[in-house]
Homo-oligomer: A and B are copies of this chain.
Amino acid sequence: MWLLLRQGVQPQGVLAWLEAQGLGIQLRSLGERWIIEVEASDGQAEALLRLEEVEKVFISERAMPLVSSWQGGVQLGTWQRGEGLLWIAGPCSVENRESLLRLAEALKALGVQVLRGGAFKARTSPYSFQGLGPQALDWLREARALTGLPICVEILSETHLPLYADVDLIQIGARNMDNYWLLRAVGELGRPVLLKRNPQATVEEWLLAAEYLLLYGAPWVLLCERGIRTFERSLRYTLDVGAIPVVAAQTALPCIADPSHAAGHWRYVTPLALAAIAAGAEGLLIEVHPDPLTAQSDAAQQLTLSQFALLKEKASTLAAPSSRRLP
């Protein structure tokens, strides 16, 4: 059971009272507020709610107090939330220093606000290319220094945390959305996190994963829909555009889409991207590669720079008439 204390209230009084009752407790700060975990039975909730300092008592396993009440600023490079789309772009995996630097400059010139690139790759087969690891991270830092673009990199293991200390936007990939110890550890870094939806997760489970991140310290979470797994396999996954307005009805956290992984083929990236924007996505995560045919992972789904430039132009036209907020 969790007690959310009122804004401005200090926790000492409640803590003392709870200890006097012999209840096990644990204190956690939520930005300017406090939340206390109490080892109490459900029957005791009523009594705890009577404490003056307590605003809410959470018992239900479906409660997501932080996600549903989140209100905050989102700062990411030059992106001004509400004044245009957020563009995160870059190669599936970082494979080469020169080509990464050139690509970063080109993407910046096209108005991309965040550079993404894979260092460690989650591959279904152990025999697939697994990424260049620390080397890739160094080149991404170099690209950041060169262009001023913040970088977004996926983390796959708690043991890699030290390598991510200065990554601007840490990505939790779809496969790790319910890797709760990784969520905790990443949350504790106190940095913004891009959280992809697991292709089998309900929207509720996805938002509960964001609740983990906020609870353990992330200031905000950038939700990213990337397709769910269904019986239809014409494309790699089924982009669940309906999830975008469903999320918007439940939280003020920003939500973008990744049409590259949903499509699995460059040919379908653009229509899916436009659909996501029209459904209210605030931005896009797009895989772009200077020469997709030579890419060591997900070659088929990466756009060339000129395909990307065309997508960006189309999407920007769409973004105005759409509006994220529901009626």
User: 0/1 per residue, A265-297, Cβ < 8 Å to B?
Assistant: 001101110111111100000000000000000
Contact check, A123 vs B327: say whether CB atoms are below 8 A apart: no
Partner pick for A275 among B182, B215, B228, B276, CB 8 A cutoff: B276
Chain B, residue nearest A64 (CB): B125
- Which stretch, A11-19, A106-114, A145-153, A240-248, touches the partner chain B? A240-248
Q: How far is the CA of A178 from the CA of B263 in the complex (A)?
A: 21
Q: How far is the CA of A301 from the CA of B202 in the complex (A)?
A: 21
Q: Closest 7 interchain pairs by CB?
A: A200-B200, A278-B278, A157-B181, A274-B278, A317-B321, A275-B279, A275-B275
Contact check, B228 vs A242: say whether CB atoms are below 8 A apart: no
Chain B, residue nearest A176 (CB): B179
Chain B, residue nearest A274 (CB): B278
User: 0/1 per residue, A92-110, Cβ < 8 Å to B?
Assistant: 0000000000000000000
Chain B, residue nearest A177 (CB): B175
Contact check, A202 vs B234: say whether CB atoms are below 8 A apart: yes
Q: How far is the CA of A82 from the CA of B64 in the complex (A)?
A: 46
Smallest CB separation, A132 vs chain B (Å): 11
Spell out A's residues near B (CB within 8 Å).
1-2, 37, 58-59, 61-64, 120, 122-128, 156-160, 175-176, 178-182, 185, 198-200, 202-205, 208, 211-212, 215-216, 228-235, 238-246, 249, 262-263, 267-268, 270-272, 274-280, 307, 310, 314, 317-318, 320-322, 326-327
Contact check, B232 vs A240: say whether CB atoms are below 8 A apart: yes
Question: Hey, which chain B residues are within 8 Å of A277, CB to CB?
Answer: 278
Question: Hey, which chain B residues are within 8 Å of A310, CB to CB?
Answer: 327
Known: A126-B212, A231-B228. A240 touches B242 (CB 8 A): no
Smallest CB separation, A58 vs chain B (Å): 6
Q: How far is the CA of A312 from the CA of B131 in the complex (A)?
A: 47
Known: A127-B58, A239-B242. A231 touches B234 (CB 8 A): no
